[in-house]
């Protein structure tokens, strides 16, 4: 009997045959594919012929195809539809993959071949893209510790293996805590909520096997509950559970894991000759140094905190009018901010939601991509890993460009948050390869037969993740290792955050924000209120984000703290964190930072990218048209199609003619003086 993960996929567009794949297939396929990649790397390293770009760099690019197939399916399913079997496999695979990576980057013969090519690069007649690949490959070896020897080399391998174990454990602990908590809602308390939230709470109760409505720790459920429930004691219970994720004691507590991760990262950086992990990590980003990151964050912190402090006074007065004395608390902020928004902008989120249907917002995202870049989206009927998933073929000028998969609804088996990943990246070597891109979100699932309704924040998330998808779909480079989103971490959020701006283009909402029951377009006065309120509560939103980014930077810039919770509090005290605002991500549930290295020392990157996205959208505004063809073409040619083929600063300057300052960001958030 063959293993569907290792077979040639004869499905449409060579998609994974999800209808044939079982959990029992993963371990044997992984073992075989890992050993095959090991043999391929050994053959490259021990090739008796002199090193050439083709027999070394391109050979490495082409190696590992079977392993990529197995892992793309496994990690997609482990993140979006986990179960005990997949969690156990993840605990097994992660340290073995870390060891495999260490084995490759610690292969002295392979490193020597790469180093020889780098030293001879001026005589190799390489294209610009090949020069870039060679530089990045050599840099990757050096930063992985390829130049280390003896005890230092051994220790580096041990650190990487241990970090892989800890990252997996952190993620699984967080998933367990989020899946394990729910709060039963008395029916009279549920009756006080808007219909969309009441329905979502009942649907969550059904999924949990409860007798009635429940609130879970899914962001799409708990945030609107904190906005709308008039019951302060229930808001407090829900907020405390949300804030305590990963810090409840017992087997799923993440505090000791965070401390060990930080200590190991510092040791890793010191082995490579860096003063701190932040200095090591930021060297390859646009920011380059911790000092530049801190300067940006503090430039935004000051006006954001001033706005938040002013807002807190207004909300406190509202609370006291309700007869509640004492300080405004974190479980009060969203409730009173929502009431204030309704009063000042006459905008009721519950009245707005019927105009933000999930299906219509997907259509809006697709339509903008069509007008900007000529993309078409045709529904596909193919087997996928969960019944909630949907797929589309993406075409450009009638030619197949990609497959796009959307997995939009929250469920207990899915980790929290929203993300985009490529199950297959775009490439032209060793053969033409069209990408398979997936957006995963956690929107509240409606009752059967009812349309899914989004908050405005949900709709923005949908556009954000689709911006990442476009970066993958429109990629046009030769080598997969630099295609799509394979760019500097503080550049990767530019396309996603830029795409959010099209949700605020009046003609887009005018056309696609139609009522779920009547089909009528959003009334003009409501549309104007939505756009006027776009910056509402930006003090709160900016403070909760920047506080998390500063804590992340402080964790990694200097000696690793033995007690991350104490270090976190010290940072918050130093910057004057408002007491009524919680961090967006506290250490025990800061998956961006502790589930892997991706955003470690890099959570600031959303803000760094926002400096560019605010400035980039102004290019369209200066052209007088949000769909200006010439500006869209410049964006396509210089950013969306280029992947990591050139330095990020060079790409942005080619698009805009210069690098931006922080002013456009402050204007965009309504925080400019």
Q: Alpha carbon of 666 to those of 286, 304, 457, 467, 594: distances in Å?
A: 20, 9, 19, 22, 29
Q: Is 470 exposed, middle or buried (0-12, 13-18, 19+ CB in 10 A)?
A: buried
* DSSP symbol at 558: S
Q: Measured between alpha carbons, how far is residue 413 from residues 71, 124, 596 in Å?
A: 18, 50, 20
Residue 305, number of CB atoms within 10 A of its CB = 20
Burial of 632 (0-12, 13-18, 19+ CB in 10 A): buried
490 close to 610: Cβ distance less than 8 angstroms: no
Cα distances (Å, whole numbers) of residue 49 to 56, 81, 132, 577 = 10, 46, 23, 61
- Helix and strand element counts for the chain (H, E): 28, 7
Residue ranges of alpha helices (H) inside 126-149 are 128-144
At residue 643, what are phi and psi to the nearest 5 degrees? 50, -135
Place of tokens 């292969």: 107
Q: Please list the residues that pair with 377 across neighbouring strands.
A: 394
Choose, from 40, 58, 129, 465, the residue flagged as catalytic: 465
Phi then psi dihedrals of residue 391, to 5 deg: -135, 150
3-state helix, strand, coil in the chain (%, to 5): 60, 5, 30
User: Is residue 144 within 8 Å of 163, Cβ to Cβ?
Assistant: no
Contact 454, 352 (CB under 8 A): no
Q: What b/e string do you get for 144-180 counting C-beta neighbours within 10 Å, with b at 16 or more? A: bbbebeeeebeebbebbbebbebbbbbbbbbbbbbbe
> In angstroms, rounded to a whole number, what is the distance separating the alpha carbons of residues 653 and 644?
15
Distance of CA 173 to the CA centre of its chain: 19
One-letter-per-residue 3-state SS of 52-80: CHHHHHHHHHHCCHHHHHHHHHHHHHHHH
Q: Is 552 helix (H, G, I), strand (E, B) or coil?
A: helix
Question: Are 315 and 586 within 8 A, CB to CB?
Answer: no
Would you say the C-alpha torsion 189, 331, 314, 672 has a positive or negative sign? negative
Indicate the angle between helix axes 538-556 and 255-271, nearest 10 degrees.
60
Q: What distances in angstroms separate CA 381 from CA 11, 384, 434, 462, one per listed residue?
A: 11, 9, 18, 22
3-state secondary structure of 453: strand
CB 355 within 8 A of CB 340: no
Q: How many CB atoms lie within 10 A of CB 449?
A: 5
465 catalytic, yes or no?
A: yes
Active site positions, annotated: 465
């Amino acid at each position: 009997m063959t293993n569907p993960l290792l077979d040639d996929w004869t499905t449409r567009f060579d998609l994974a045959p999800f209808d044939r794949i079982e959990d029992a297939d993963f371990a044997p396929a992984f073992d075989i594919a890992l050993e095959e990649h090991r043999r391929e790397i050994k053959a490259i390293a021990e090739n008796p012929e002199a090193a050439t770009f083709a027999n070394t760099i391109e050979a490495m690019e082409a190696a590992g195809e079977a392993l990529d197939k197995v892992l793309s399916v496994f990690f997609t399913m482990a993140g979006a539809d986990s179960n005990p079997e997949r969690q156990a496999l993840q605990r097994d695979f992660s340290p073995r993959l870390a060891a495999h990576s260490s084995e490759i980057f610690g292969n002295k013969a392979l490193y020597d071949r790469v180093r020889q090519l780098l030293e001879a690069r001026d005589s190799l007649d390489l294209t610009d893209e090949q020069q870039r690949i060679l530089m990045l490959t050599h840099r990757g070896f050096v930063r992985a510790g390829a130049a280390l020897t003896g005890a230092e080399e051994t220790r580096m391998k041990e650190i990487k293996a241990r970090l892989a174990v800890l990252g997996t454990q952190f993620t699984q602990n967080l998933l367990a805590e989020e899946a394990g908590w729910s709060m039963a809602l008395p029916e009279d308390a549920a009756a006080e909520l808007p219909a969309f939230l009441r329905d979502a709470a009942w649907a969550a109760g059904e999924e949990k096997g409860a007798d009635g409505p429940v609130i879970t720790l899914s962001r799409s459920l708990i945030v609107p509950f904190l906005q709308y429930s008039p019951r302060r004691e229930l808001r407090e219970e829900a907020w405390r559970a949300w804030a305590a994720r990963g810090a409840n004691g017992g087997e799923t507590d993440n505090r000791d894991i965070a401390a060990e991760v930080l200590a190991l990262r510092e040791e890793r950086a010191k082995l490579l000759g860096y003063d701190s992990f932040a200095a090591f990590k930021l060297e390859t980003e646009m920011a380059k140094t911790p000092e530049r990151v801190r300067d940006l964050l503090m430039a935004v912190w000051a006006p954001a905190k001033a706005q938040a402090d002013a807002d807190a006074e207004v909300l406190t007065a509202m609370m006291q009018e309700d007869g509640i004395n004492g300080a405004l608390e974190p479980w009060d902020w969203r409730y009173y901010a929502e009431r204030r928004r309704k009063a000042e902008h006459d905008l009721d989120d519950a009245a707005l939601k019927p105009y933000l249907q999930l299906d219509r917002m997907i259509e809006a995202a697709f339509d903008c991509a069509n007008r900007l870049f000529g993309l078409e989206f045709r529904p596909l009927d193919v087997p996928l890993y969960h019944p909630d998933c949907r797929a589309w073929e993406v075409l450009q000028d009638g030619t197949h460009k990609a497959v796009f998969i959307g997995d939009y609804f929250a469920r207990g088996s899915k980790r929290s948050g929203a993300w985009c990943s490529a199950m297959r990246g775009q490439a032209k070597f060793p053969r033409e390869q069209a990408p398979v891109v997936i957006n995963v979100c956690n929107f509240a699932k409606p009752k059967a037969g009812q349309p899914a309704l989004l908050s405005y924040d949900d709709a923005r998330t949908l556009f954000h993740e689709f911006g990442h998808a476009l970066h993958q779909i429109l990629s046009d480079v030769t080598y997969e290792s630099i295609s799509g989103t394979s760019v500097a971490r503080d550049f990767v959020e530019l396309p996603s955050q830029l795409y959010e701006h099209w949700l605020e283009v009046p003609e887009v909402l005018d056309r696609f924000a139609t009522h779920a029951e009547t089909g009528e377009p959003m009334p003009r006065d409501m549309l104007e209120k939505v756009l006027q309120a776009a910056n509402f509560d930006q003090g709160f939103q900016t403070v909760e984000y920047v506080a998390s980014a500063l804590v992340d930077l402080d964790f990694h810039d200097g000696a690793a703290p033995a007690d991350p919770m104490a270090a976190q509090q010290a940072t918050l005290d130093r910057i004057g964190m408002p007491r009524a605002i919680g961090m967006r991500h506290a250490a025990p549930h800061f998956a961006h930072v502790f589930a892997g290295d991706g955003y470690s020392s890099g959570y600031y990157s959303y803000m760094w990218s926002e400096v560019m996205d605010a400035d980039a959208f102004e290019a369209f505004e200066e052209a007088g048209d949000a769909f200006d063809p010439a500006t869209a073409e410049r964006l396509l040619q210089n950013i969306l199609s280029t992947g990591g083929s050139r330095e990020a600063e060079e790409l942005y300057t080619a698009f805009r003619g210069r690098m931006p300052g922080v002013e456009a960001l402050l204007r965009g958030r309504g925080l400019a003086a």
